[in-house]
């Protein structure tokens, strides 16, 4: 038993699977024709949503294709055929387009839905590996997704066929993306939690400390008061205002170290004597990702946010780390 385990070549099997599945995708290029164009145009002209269906392994692929459509500018969602039979068909509107995946094209639960979908006047796009199937014959558009063999040695488990179907779904989604002129900014709007979304959407106003969270002292306050404010607000700095509540300076941890090295009396020294004048400021609409570049370029760790000459926010490099833009 141990001998068999030691001699079994897992890598050889993996290579065979990858060869079969990559060949299945490559062979799809030779099948692309007018039907693929019609499928893309039907999706592009859809005034509602793309409803994607599939059962079993095809259902998992259909679910992923729907997610790809939705994240690339084509409203779509997945409906399970069995659930559609028992009520979810009501989620489909006459303005929608239905994209159905079935390698055989004969899946009973799917075939039984076709008459009802057609009575609603809905365009049906079928992705099958069988040109003579009920689904392919009844569909408005049939995209042929044939594979010569499955990666399974018994030629039974859906492997190459599901890979090919996924690739064809991706091909439709990307074709629509490019035709619509979908941009990085558009992508970010549907991925606000992703790294790209944060880079393109998250502003300083979204993450800055506001109101009582902002460390503030006045230029006529003693340095001791400034240190207390810095300690309580824990941003590694404090803004310094004049009597008109206008920002006139900043005092940071770095300034504190340099001040203490000079043995300055914190009880008798005024903030205006030790602060940095004309601190670097930004607008609340500035993208947080762009602020990172500024911090790095200027070799500073804190920012003050000003609007109409009034201090409205503050943040430091740790806030940018927590926001996921560094």
User: What is the separation of C-alpha 178 from the centre of its chain, rounded to a whole number of angstroms?
Assistant: 18
Tens of pLDDT, residue by residue over 292-309, are 888 888 888 888 999 988
Same domain for 169 and 37: yes
188, part of any domain: no
Q: How far apart are CA 293 and CA 200, in angstroms?
A: 14
Average pLDDT, the chain: 89
Tens of pLDDT, residue by residue over 38-73, are 999 999 999 999 999 999 999 999 999 999 998 888
Overall number of domains in the chain: 2
19, part of any domain: yes
81, part of any domain: yes
Same domain for 116 and 160: yes
Q: How far apart are CA 81 and CA 69, in angstroms?
A: 19
Same domain for 165 and 126: yes
CATH code at 15? 3.40.50.10490
Last residue of a domain, one of 182, 212, 230: 182
108, part of any domain: yes
194, part of any domain: no
| Token code pair at residue 155 | 């030629």
Per-residue pLDDT, 199: 63
Per-residue pLDDT, 161: 95
309: helix, strand or coil = coil
Last residue of a domain, one of 182, 215, 241: 182
pLDDT at 242 over 50: yes
47: helix, strand or coil = coil
Range from 25-29, 189-193, 217-221 carrying the lowest mean pLDDT: 189-193
Range from 9-23, 45-59, 95-109, 277-291 carrying the lowest mean pLDDT: 277-291
299, part of any domain: yes
- Identify the CA nearest to 227 among candidates 260, 194, 202: 260
- Residue 189: pLDDT band (50, 70, 90) is low
Same domain for 249 and 134: no
Q: How far apart are CA 264 and CA 274, in angstroms?
A: 10
The residue that leads in pLDDT, 144 or 317, is: 144
Q: Which domain holds residue 107?
A: 2-182
Same domain for 313 and 176: no
DSSP state of 280: -
DSSP state of 215: -
pLDDT at 219 over 90: yes
Q: What DSSP string describes 122-136?
A: -EEEEEES-TTSHHH
- Residues 313 and 234 sit within 8 Å (Cβ to Cβ): no
Tens of pLDDT, residue by residue over 149-180, are 999 999 889 999 999 999 999 999 999 999 98
Same domain for 79 and 16: yes
Same domain for 152 and 14: yes
> Average pLDDT, stretch 223-247?
93
- Both ends of the chain: CA-CA distance in Å? 52
Residue 202: Cβ within 10 Å count: 20
Helix boundaries (H) for 72-214 = 81-85, 108-111, 114-119, 134-138, 160-180, 184-189, 195-201, 204-207
Same domain for 224 and 103: no
- Residues 323 and 310 sit within 8 Å (Cβ to Cβ): no
Per-residue pLDDT, 1: 45
> Average pLDDT, stretch 6-30?
93
Same domain for 126 and 8: yes
CATH code at 231? 3.10.580.10
Last residue of a domain, one of 150, 182, 214: 182
88, part of any domain: yes
Residue 194: half-sphere exposure toward Cβ, Cα within 13 Å: 11
- Residue 317: pLDDT band (50, 70, 90) is confident
196, part of any domain: no
> Average pLDDT, stretch 134-140?
96
Per-residue pLDDT, 215: 94
> Average pLDDT, stretch 276-286?
89
Share of the chain above pLDDT 90, in %: 67
Q: How far apart are CA 234 and CA 225, in angstroms?
A: 14
Same domain for 292 and 156: no
- Residue 260: pLDDT band (50, 70, 90) is confident
- Identify the CA nearest to 16 among candidates 166, 147, 149, 170: 149
Q: How many residues does the chain have?
A: 326
Per-residue pLDDT, 183: 73
Element (H, E) at 241: strand 237-241
Same domain for 98 and 219: no
Same domain for 176 and 209: no
Per-residue pLDDT, 188: 58
């Amino acid at each position: 038993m141990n001998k068999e385990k030691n001699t079994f070549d897992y890598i050889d099997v993996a290579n065979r699977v990858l060869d079969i599945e990559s060949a299945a995708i490559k062979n799809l290029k030779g099948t692309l024709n007018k039907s693929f164009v019609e499928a893309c145009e039907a999706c592009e002209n859809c005034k509602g949503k793309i409803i994607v269906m599939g059962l079993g392994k095809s259902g998992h692929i259909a679910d992923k294709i729907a997610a790809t459509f939705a994240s690339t500018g084509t409203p779509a969602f997945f409906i399970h055929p069995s659930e559609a039979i028992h009520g979810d068909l009501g989620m489909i509107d006459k303005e929608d387009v239905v994209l159905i995946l079935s390698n055989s094209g004969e899946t009973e639960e799917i075939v039984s839905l076709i008459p009802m979908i057609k009575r609603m006047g809905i365009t049906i796009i079928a992705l099958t590996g069988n040109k003579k199937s009920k689904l392919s014959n009844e569909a408005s558009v049939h995209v042929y997704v044939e594979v010569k063999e499955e990666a399974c040695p018994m030629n039974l488990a859906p492997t190459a066929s599901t890979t090919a179907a996924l690739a064809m779904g991706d091909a439709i989604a990307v074709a629509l993306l490019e035709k619509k002129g979908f941009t990085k900014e558009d992508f970010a709007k549907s991925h606000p939690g992703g790294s790209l979304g944060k880079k393109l959407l998250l502003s300083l106003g979204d993450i800055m400390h506001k109101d009582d969270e902002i460390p503030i002292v006045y230029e006529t306050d003693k340095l001791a008061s400034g240190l207390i404010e810095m300690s309580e607000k824990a941003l590694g700095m404090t803004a310094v205002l004049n009597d008109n509540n206008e920002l006139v300076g900043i005092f940071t941890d770095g300034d504190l170290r340099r001040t203490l090295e000079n043995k300055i009396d914190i009880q008798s020294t005024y903030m205006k004597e030790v602060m940095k004048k004309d601190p670097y400021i930004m607008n609340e609409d500035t993208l947080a990702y762009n602020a990172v570049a500024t911090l790095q370029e200027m070799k500073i760790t804190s920012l003050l946010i000003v609007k109409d000459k009034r201090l409205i926010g503050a943040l430091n490099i740790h806030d940018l780390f927590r926001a996921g833009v560094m």
